[in-house]
A and B are shown apart, each in its own frame.
Chain A
Amino acid sequence: MFRTIVFSAFGAGLVVCVVISALQFFTTEPLILHAEQFEGTADSGHHHDAATPAHDHGDAGDWAPADGFERRAYTVLANLVLGAAVSLILLAAMVLRGDRIDARHGLLWGAAGFVAASLMPALGLPPELPGTPAADLVDRQVWWLATVVASAAGIALIAFGRHWAVKAAGLALFVLPHVIGAPPPPGHEVAYPGALAGEFVIASLVVSAVLWTLAGFSAGWLHRRLSGSTQP
């Protein structure tokens, strides 16, 4: 059972990696590189000089991939890990739920995952280009994670709850993080041309939607094929 889940998840991760890497290459990556050209010009607390790559925000001397092939290779690797991770989470949830696992159900679970893990947190913390002023990182990560957990629980209660009160509680969980509110940024002035931010939000949400739905679809399909071959 575990082997089938892991094989399906990494197979799906490979498919997801190819597709979202190609998508990022044409959509988010040019926008990130464009925004980074302006990063050194604003007083954003980062200091770049000719010796450090434009995307190194750690202390001087911290390792960062060199721009170009190396940087892109690490992005592709991160996409593979993300694709496999999302597939593992979706397959585990489907197995725990006990429903039929196939491409169609995987697609539905993936769509729900996208809403919980990308769309709802993006309402408070929109996907950001480098150089966007933002609140403390840990505060944002805590709010982001709590919002994902609350939204996922909310979807589960609305989808699987039988009593109307359970569904209402699910709706309340959906709304609660936004009533509390995300950590606000210190300002809205950006160093890069502001219109890039809008383009980036849409591009990033499309990448995330493809990540989650394609992971669910291909992991569900592969799991059905693999478990069908061992258990006729």
Chain B
Amino acid sequence: MTTTSSLATARLSSRILPAFAALVFGLGLYLGTGFAWPSALHNAAHDARHATGFPCH
């Protein structure tokens, strides 16, 4: 592997990997707040779910 391509790979992974981790983190929080079925979670997030139009009940 040449220096240029390994540099390019390093730059790519330093951008793609953190962004992908952030995406998974964000989707987890989003679905956890808007979609999770456990009753306690539903009841806690109830008004926020309705106010932002998630399917509820």
C-alpha gap A60/B53 in the complex (Å) = 26
C-alpha gap A20/B53 in the complex (Å) = 14
Known: A6-B22, A86-B30, A137-B57. A129 touches B50 (CB 8 A): yes
**Chain B at the A interface: SS class:** helix
C-alpha gap A178/B45 in the complex (Å) = 28
Q: What bracket does the count of chain B residues touching chain A fall in? A: 35 or more
Contact between B19 and A205, CB atoms less than 8 A apart? no
Q: Distance in Å from the Cβ of B30 to the closest Cβ of chain A?
A: 4
Contact between B42 and A57, CB atoms less than 8 A apart? yes
Known: A57-B42, A127-B50. A95 touches B26 (CB 8 A): no
C-alpha gap A5/B15 in the complex (Å) = 11
Contact of B39 among A59, A79, A141 (CB under 8 A): A59
Known: A88-B29, A137-B55. A78 touches B22 (CB 8 A): no
How many A-B pairs have beta carbons closer than 8 Å: the answer is 157
8 Å CB interface, A67-85 against B: 71-72, 74-75, 77-79, 81-82, 84-85
Kindly state whether residue A164 has any CB partner on chain B within 8 Å. Answer: no
C-alpha gap A44/B33 in the complex (Å) = 24
Kindly state whether residue A226 has any CB partner on chain B within 8 Å. Answer: no
Report the nearest B residue to A97, measured CB to CB: B19
Of B33, B46, B50, most buried by chain A (CB within 10 Å of CB) is: B50
Report the nearest A residue to B21, measured CB to CB: A2
Could you give, for residues 49-72 of chain A, a 1 whenever the CB lies within 8 Å of some chain B CB and a 0 otherwise?
000000111110011110000011
